[in-house]
Amino acid sequence: MRPRTPSQWVKVLASAGMWIAIGVSAVQVPVSGSRPWVAAACIMAFAVVSSAAALSGRLSSRRRGGSLSGRGRDDDDGPSGEAAHRWHTLAVVSRLMPSSAGRRWLAEAESVLAETTAARRGAAVRSYLLSAPRLVVMMWARQILRRAHPGPRRPG
Amino acid sequence: MALRLTVQVQLVLQALLGDPAREMYGLELSEETGLQPGTAYPILLRLEHEGWVASRWEDVDPRVEKRPARRYYRLTAGGAAAASAALSGARRPKGTALRRLAAEGGTE
C-alpha cells in the first residue's frame, strides 16, 4: 500500500533506513571491523524514528476515527471507526453465504445502512450481524436442496 | 417449508398489505414495522421464496442519487391474498407485545 500521510512516509523511510543500516553493518563490520557503534547507533536511530512515526500515525488515526479499512477520513462520507469495522465484518460475513446470496445480502445491507441515520446505524449493523448465522444456514440449506432437486430458478 | 407466522412476519405482512400495489424498500419497511432492518431481511427473503413477495433493484445511478440503489419489495397477487387469509386466521399480537418488540428492534 502506498503511504498517504507524512507520518506513514516517515515510518516507511525510517524502516527502510533501518534495514539498510542492518544490511550494511552485517557486511561491513565483520570485514573491516571498523566502528561497529556507528552502525548500531544508525539502526537504533532509524528504529526509534520508525516506531515514533507508527505511533503518531496510529494516534491521529484514532483521533479522527480511522480504521484498518482506510475509511473514516475527514473528507470521506463512509463509516468511521467502529462503524467501519462493522462494515468490514459485514463483508466478511457475506462471504460465508453462497456467493450470489452473500452479494445480495451485502448490497441490501449497504443500501439500507447508507440511508440510516448515524444514531441508528450501529443497531442496524448489529441486527444484520445477529441475523447472519441463521441466514447462512438457511442459504446453504436452500443451495444444497436446489442442487439436489433442480427445479425452476428462485431468487436469492 | 411452511411459513411460520411469527409476530415479526405478521408485522411485515401488515406493512406490505397497507397498500399491496406499493413497493417498499428495506429501510421504509423497517421504519413502518419497528423491526431492525437485519431482522426484516430474512423475513422478506422467506416471503420471497414462498412466492408471496417479489423484489427488484431500483434502476438508478448511485452517483447521481448519491446513495446506493434500493431493493424494493411488494406483495404478489397471490401473496396479497395468502397474506390476508393468513393474517385473518392468525392470533393478533397484543399491543404491549408489539411495543416491546419495537423497542427491542424486533430481534427474532
State yes or no: pLDDT of A63 exceeds 70. no
* pLDDT in the model for residue A122: 86
Whether residue A72 is contained in a domain is answered as no
d(CA B26, CA B43): 11
β strands within chain B, DSSP E = 24-25, 53-57, 71-75
d(CA A128, CA B70): 16
More confident residue, A81 or A120: A120
Residue B2 in grid coordinates:
411452511
| CATH number for the domain whose boundaries are B7-90 | 1.10.10.10
Distances (CA, A) of B93 to A31, A101, B5, B6, B90: 86, 31, 11, 9, 9
The most confident of A58-62, A120-124, B29-33, by mean pLDDT: B29-33
Asked whether residue A137 falls in the same domain as residue A95, the answer is: yes
d(CA A111, CA A123): 15
Which chain A residues are within 8 Å of B57, Cβ to Cβ? 107
State yes or no: pLDDT of A109 exceeds 70. yes
The most confident of A38-42, A68-72, B48-52, B97-101, by mean pLDDT: B48-52
Which chain B residues are within 8 Å of A128, Cβ to Cβ? 37-38, 41
Asked whether residue A101 falls in the same domain as residue A58, the answer is: no
State yes or no: pLDDT of A86 exceeds 70. yes
Whether residue A143 is contained in a domain is answered as yes
* pLDDT in the model for residue A66: 38
Query: Residue B102: which pLDDT band, with cuts at 50, 70 and 90?
Result: low
* pLDDT in the model for residue A69: 38
Query: Cα angle vertex A112, ends A108, A118, to 5°?
Result: 145
* pLDDT in the model for residue A80: 58
Say whether B67 and A128 touch across the interface (CB within 8 A): no
Query: Residue A121: which pLDDT band, with cuts at 50, 70 and 90?
Result: confident
- How many independent structural domains does chain A possess? 2
| SS3 annotation, A97-111 | CCHHHHHHHHHHHHH
Say whether A108 and B41 touch across the interface (CB within 8 A): yes
Domain ranges of chain B: 7-90
* pLDDT in the model for residue A140: 93
Say whether B49 and A155 touch across the interface (CB within 8 A): yes
Say whether A112 and B27 touch across the interface (CB within 8 A): yes
CA-based nearest distance B82→chain A, Å: 19
Half-sphere exposure of A146 (CA within 13 A, CB side): 13
For A97-110, b/e burial (b = at least 16 CB within 10 A) is: bbeebbebbbebbb
Whether residue A75 is contained in a domain is answered as no
- DSSP notation for A32-67: H---HHHHHHHHHHHHHHHHHHHHHHHHHHHHTT--
Residues A126-152: tens digit of each pLDDT = 999 999 999 999 999 988 988 887 766
Residue A155 in grid coordinates:
431468487
Nearest by CB to B38, from A110, A124, A154: name it.
Answer: A124
Whether residue A138 is contained in a domain is answered as yes
Give the mean pLDDT of B76-84: 93
ipTM over 0.85: no
Whether residue A69 is contained in a domain is answered as no
Say whether A127 and B67 touch across the interface (CB within 8 A): no
Across chain A, what does the average pLDDT equal?
A: 74
Of A72-86, B27-41, B94-108, the least confident: A72-86
d(CA A88, CA A128): 13
- Give the domain extent around A46: 6-63
Whether residue A154 is contained in a domain is answered as no
State yes or no: pLDDT of B108 exceeds 60. no
State yes or no: pLDDT of A30 exceeds 70. no
